[in-house]
Structure 1
């Protein structure tokens, strides 16, 4: 039986989309791949969080006994201890976020969530550009295969790192059950409590310059549809004077609704 390691630190300590990705991937692999033995690795934790597969003969949780703040700098340099020190022997290790561990023999797979530090550095703070590029550089140099969430991501990555051509596989994201309609039929009540009325345009995610929300708000003004709301389901992140000005002028009119993060864990 093949044995894979899966980095789930993002699912335990991360937030928003990448947290959901790590949780959903581990859960679905446990359900859909009965021929795999899974070793789920993360920085120190005590209990299995909600949403993850339960421990079993095939699913094992392998917490590191070294705090991440000490282990990450070693792994960033390719130094030991290897991840197999904590998980046992592996055939493959899948990094779901920026965690690229040192390995003994295991192949490494890395998920490319986006290439903004390279493709749109103008939209990010300088420190995020530096740290983001450093992580992508490490992945390109060390990993054996890459999962891209879109064809654009695959194409851009292979343009920046030509030596990875043929090793980047597009795996579009699926729809998590958490995005299903409410089973108790309270969706209408929730929308009303938020001040949302049909018809509306829905944006889900971080309300930021990187997500081009300013363009959406400008387009809505040009349309001049008084009956059409823009609903921004997410929190405002980053400092963007243009976006802040658009929100200040639009929110009081009721034409734009900003809900904030909707989940208790920040989604």
Structure 2
């Protein structure tokens, strides 16, 4: 089936090749390829891809966009995303399960042009890195957690990430880092020259902007048996999220507050008991209602590439306590209480201060949120495309 799909694209490849000859079907619009395979999975990368592609297509409709969707089970979601865009780009769907994509792009390093035809730009993420022969490769690196914390990460994920990063280091014309912190990690860990790395900040996803009324907050509290004012933590259950220290800090406050942990399961296991409520992964109105009802967001992570829950809390007017390390101060600025994530008492004191300074922090958070937008991210990303295309 895959061979048949590749053959069906052969004429497209030949036709696109004509664009390299002056005067023969030349189109001044850039032909921009995007790997949108991550969109169905509900991760930060999913939200980044969804919102940045949407903003690019809306702001720069004159460009020729071609979306690559490699997925075995999630093709309907990819098709739904493509049809939701302001102007319908071309999209190439291939039933590629993750293991096959790893073989094709990270191990065998096949050319993406086999699937999409010639391109001026192909924008990949830091999970699959195909070869780009006709144009320039631009890659977004979201974080290097698998490389920095290999003992806390599934070994298969570490191997996969290392393979992709090796190709990124060798072949990418431009690397987009989602924070200055990530840029510094890329330089120090991957030894990629600074001149190839561009910082483009993420923003609050459109999907996160859900309007909530009081009755919906009351319903979600009832659903999860939340009986006290609660501290919210939105995270994945892995050691770098610092859950154990957060729980220890909360223990000294548990007479007054519940602790609600929201996120996907991972290397660590926490059970609901004695004021700790574990909801699992939630999204949409449920997540929005949990934010809206929280007394504060506790985000004492040891390492992040960006830190989207900080912006989400700003939107829902919830005071934030977060770490004074990694990317968190960069995102939060002066709109959050910063703590030492390695000190339990610092976390506890930070939670208390955030609750006490709610009005001040909420006001600062609303102003801080205005600094991050997908329109700005799209403008900066397009400038990178234009720069690398103009370079020999």
Q: Name the TM-score, length of structure 1 as normaliser.
A: 0.81
Q: Which residue of 1 aligns with 2:224?
A: 194
Tell me, which stretches of 5 or more residues in structure 2 are unaligned?
1-28, 288-392
Q: Which residue of 2 aligns with 1:34?
A: 61
Find the aligned partners of 1:29 and 1:38 in 2 and give their Cα distance. Answer: 9
Find the aligned partners of 1:6 and 1:21 in 2 and give their Cα distance. Answer: 12
1:252 aligns with 2:273: yes
Find the aligned partners of 2:168 and 2:211 in 1 and give their Cα distance. Answer: 39
Of 95, 110, 120, which residue of structure 1 is paired with 2:124? 95
Larger Rg: 2
Find the aligned partners of 1:52 and 1:154 in 2 and give their Cα distance. Answer: 30
Find the aligned partners of 1:229 and 1:136 in 2 and give their Cα distance. Answer: 41
Q: Could you say if the C-alpha distance between residues 79 and 152 of structure 1 is closer, same or farther in structure 2, counting changes exceeding 3 Å?
A: closer
1:146 aligns with 2:166: no
Of 146, 166, 187, which residue of structure 1 is paired with 2:195? 166
1:227 aligns with 2:260: no
Find the aligned partners of 1:150 and 1:36 in 2 and give their Cα distance. Answer: 27
Q: Could you say if the C-alpha distance between residues 52 and 217 of structure 1 is closer, same or farther in structure 2, counting changes exceeding 3 Å?
A: farther
Of 50, 53, 75, which residue of structure 2 is paired with 1:23? 50
Q: Could you say if the C-alpha distance between residues 73 and 235 of structure 1 is closer, same or farther in structure 2, counting changes exceeding 3 Å?
A: closer
Q: Which residue of 2 aligns with 1:210?
A: 240
Q: Which residue of 1 aligns with 2:37?
A: 9
Q: Is the 8 A contact 2:139 2:172 kept in 1?
A: yes
Q: How many residues are aligned here?
A: 253
Specify the SS of the correspondent of 2:240: coil
Q: Could you say if the C-alpha distance between residues 53 and 147 of structure 1 is closer, same or farther in structure 2, counting changes exceeding 3 Å?
A: farther
Q: Is the 8 A contact 2:39 2:78 kept in 1?
A: no
Of 191, 194, 209, which residue of structure 2 is paired with 1:180? 209
Q: Is the 8 A contact 1:10 1:22 kept in 2?
A: yes
**Structure 1 residue 207 displacement after superposition:** 2.1
Q: Is the 8 A contact 1:11 1:22 kept in 2?
A: yes
The C-alpha deviation readout for 1:52-76, integer Å capped at 9, x for no partner, is: 4547866111124777654542322
Specify the SS of the correspondent of 2:53: helix
Find the aligned partners of 1:180 and 1:187 in 2 and give their Cα distance. Answer: 15
**Structure 1 residue 19 displacement after superposition:** 2.3
1:134 aligns with 2:155: no
Find the aligned partners of 1:178 and 1:47 in 2 and give their Cα distance. Answer: 15
**Structure 1 residue 92 displacement after superposition:** 0.6
Find the aligned partners of 1:173 and 1:55 in 2 and give their Cα distance. Answer: 19
1:262 aligns with 2:282: yes
CA RMSD of aligned residues (A): 2.8
Specify the SS of the correspondent of 2:34: strand
> Which 10-residue stretch deviates more, 71-80 or 204-213?
71-80
**Structure with higher helix content:** 2
Find the aligned partners of 2:202 and 2:124 in 1 and give their Cα distance. Answer: 16
Q: Could you say if the C-alpha distance between residues 70 and 158 of structure 1 is closer, same or farther in structure 2, counting changes exceeding 3 Å?
A: same
Find the aligned partners of 1:66 and 1:130 in 2 and give their Cα distance. Answer: 19
Tell me, which stretches of 5 or more residues in structure 1 are unaligned?
none
